[in-house]
Amino acid sequence: MKTIIEPFKIKMVEPIKMTTREQRNNIVLAAGHNPFLIRAEDVLIDLLTDSGTSSMSDRQWAELMMGDESYAGSRSYFKFEETIRDITGYEYIIPTHQGRAAERILFSITTKEGDIIPNNTHFDTTRANIEYNKALALDLVTAEGRDPETRLPFKGNIDIEAVGKLLEGTSLSRIPMGMMTVTNNASGGQPVSMANIRAMSELLHSKGIPFIFDACRFAENCYFIKTREPGYEDKSLKDIAREMFSYGDGCTMSAKKDAFANMGGFLALNNKEWADKAKTLLILTEGFSTYGGLAGRDLAAIAQGLKEILEEDYMQYRVRSTAYLGDNLERVGVPTFVPAGGHAIYIDAKRMLPHIPPKHLPGQALCVELYLEAGIRAVEIGSVMFGKTDAETGDFVPGQNELVRLALPRRVYTQSHMDYIIEALENLSKRKDEIRGMQFDYEAPILRHFTSTFSWV
C-alpha cells in the first residue's frame, strides 16, 4: 500500500471553532498583530508549537488513573525510571517538570563563568540557562545545516573539525561537556547521523570531556537514522536509540515532545557525583527525587508515552505527514527549509516575500496573513525573534533567517487538516505580491516575540 494512514482511531474529540474573516480581522487587531496574543479558542488549527500539545493515547489516560501519588518511592516513579533506563541505558534518572528544569540543574552543578559548551545548535532555553551561568553556548552546526536550500540527509550534524579546533585551542577545564541536540530544533528540525554522534563521542571522550544529549526528539532522530543511514534499516527504533545513547554520558529531555505528555521532563546521567549534586538541587527547588515536581500520574503517562513513541507505524506516519506538508507546499510554490524535518515545516519568508525587506518583518507579516486567511496559527522565527534594535545606534539588526514555523502537534491533526493548511498557503502564494510588511508598535525589551505588538507598513 502506498497510502500511509494515521495509525490510530479517534475515541474522543475536541471541537475547533470556525471564524469568519471579519471576526479574524477584529481578533488580530485586538491582539496587536501578534499570534501569541490571540486566544487559543479563536484559532482553528494551532501550529504554534509541538510542545505539550500532543494527544495522549487511551493507554496513557489509563496510566493517569493508576498513578501512585505517594510522596516518596511511588510505583509510578519506578515505572518511569525503568522505562528510561531501558531506552537510554543511563543509571540515574531524575524527573523534572520540564526540559528547561533539567537544563538549569545540569548547568548549575557543572558550569562556571567563562566555560564553553559546544552543541550543533543550542535551543533557546538551553542557551539561556548556559548564559545565565556566565558561560558561552557555542553553535557549531555544519555550514550546510545553516543553508535552507541544500538537500542533505543529516543537516543537523555538528562540524567535527570545528569541535576539534575548539578542543585544541581551549583549556579543557573550561569545557564541562559537549552537547548534541537530536533532532536539531533550532536549525530546521534536522536530524544528526549516528556516524556524526559516534565521531563527537570519540573526540570528546579522547579528551575526557562528558557528552550530553538534548534528547527532546530522540525518537524522530532514530527514525531518520533508520531510513537514511546505511546499516540501520533492519534495526528497531529502540535498538537505534540504545546505540545512540550509549555514545553519551547522559541527557536532558522535555517529555512535552517525544513522550506524548502535556508536561514533564528528566535529566539522566551516568556520573554518580553529578547525579548526587543534581538530586540535592532538585529537592531544593523541584521536589523529592522520586517525583521532581510532577504528579505520580504524570510520571506514569510519560513512561507509557516513551514506549509508544518508539513504535514504527507511528513514526512512519509522523515523518511522512510532516514531509507531505512540506512536499505539497513546495508543489504550490511556497519555499521551505529542505528537506522536511521531523516535527515542523519552516517556510522561508525571505524567498516567498522578496519585496519585503527584513526590517519590515516578512515572517511576521506571513504569520498574520495566514491567520487572517484561514485561522491557522504559526510562529515567526526570524527578525522578530532573533533580531534586535542596537541599543547605541538604534539601528535594526536582522535575524539570520526569516522563517515561519508550522509545528505539528503529535497525533492531533489529520491529512484533511494538512490539505486545508496547504490550500490556505496556496491562496496566499497567489497574492503574495500584495502582502505588505510590518513594523513594531510596541517593542518588548527581551524575548520580543511574546509580547510586542505590530501594525502594517
Contact footprint for ligand PLP (CB under 6 A):
51, 98-100, 123, 125-126, 181, 185, 214, 216, 254, 256-257, 265
Q: For ligand PLP, give the closer residue by CB, 81 or 214.
A: 214
Q: For ligand PLP, give the closer residue by CB, 344 or 370.
A: 344
The answer for residues whose C-beta is within 8 angstroms of residue 362's C-beta and 6 or more apart is 349, 350, 352, 353, 356, 382, 402, 437
Q: Nearest approach, Cβ of 190 to ligand PLP (angstroms)?
A: 12
Q: Nearest approach, Cβ of 295 to ligand PLP (angstroms)?
A: 16
Q: Nearest approach, Cβ of 96 to ligand PLP (angstroms)?
A: 9
C-alpha cell recorded at residue 453: 505588538
Q: Nearest approach, Cβ of 135 to ligand PLP (angstroms)?
A: 17
Handedness of CA 353, 358, 364, 368 (dihedral sign): negative
Residues 282, 290: Cα–Cα separation, whole Å: 10
For residues 305 and 255, the answer to whether their CB atoms sit within 8 Å is yes
Q: For ligand PLP, give the closer residue by CB, 98 or 133.
A: 98
DSSP of 178-203? EEEESSBGGGTTB---HHHHHHHHHH
Q: Nearest approach, Cβ of 222 to ligand PLP (angstroms)?
A: 15
Residues 50, 262: Cα–Cα separation, whole Å: 10
DSSP of 402-436? -EEEEE--TTT--HHHHHHHHHHHHHHHHTGGG--
Residues 303, 146: Cα–Cα separation, whole Å: 35
Q: Nearest approach, Cβ of 86 to ligand PLP (angstroms)?
A: 22
Residues 386, 57: Cα–Cα separation, whole Å: 36
| Helices of type H across 31-74 | 58-65
For residues 253 and 268, the answer to whether their CB atoms sit within 8 Å is yes
Residues 384, 122: Cα–Cα separation, whole Å: 19
Q: 241: which strand partners?
A: none
For residues 404 and 425, the answer to whether their CB atoms sit within 8 Å is no
Q: For ligand PLP, give the closer residue by CB, 25 or 400.
A: 400
Q: Nearest approach, Cβ of 263 to ligand PLP (angstroms)?
A: 8
Q: For ligand PLP, give the closer residue by CB, 381 or 435.
A: 381
Q: For ligand PLP, give the closer residue by CB, 63 or 214.
A: 214
Q: For ligand PLP, give the closer residue by CB, 83 or 98.
A: 98
Position with the least CB separation from ligand PLP: 99
Residue 155 corresponds to which amino acid? K
Map residue 139 onto helix, strand or coil. Answer: strand
The answer for residues whose C-beta is within 8 angstroms of residue 9's C-beta and 6 or more apart is none
Q: For ligand PLP, give the closer residue by CB, 183 or 328.
A: 183
Map residue 137 onto helix, strand or coil. Answer: strand
Q: For ligand PLP, give the closer residue by CB, 92 or 123.
A: 123
Q: Nearest approach, Cβ of 136 to ligand PLP (angstroms)?
A: 18
Residue 321, Cβ density class (10 Å: 0-12 exposed, 13-18 middle, ≥19 buried): buried
Q: Nearest approach, Cβ of 256 to ligand PLP (angstroms)?
A: 5
Q: For ligand PLP, give the closer residue by CB, 177 or 352.
A: 177
Q: 118: which strand partners?
A: 138
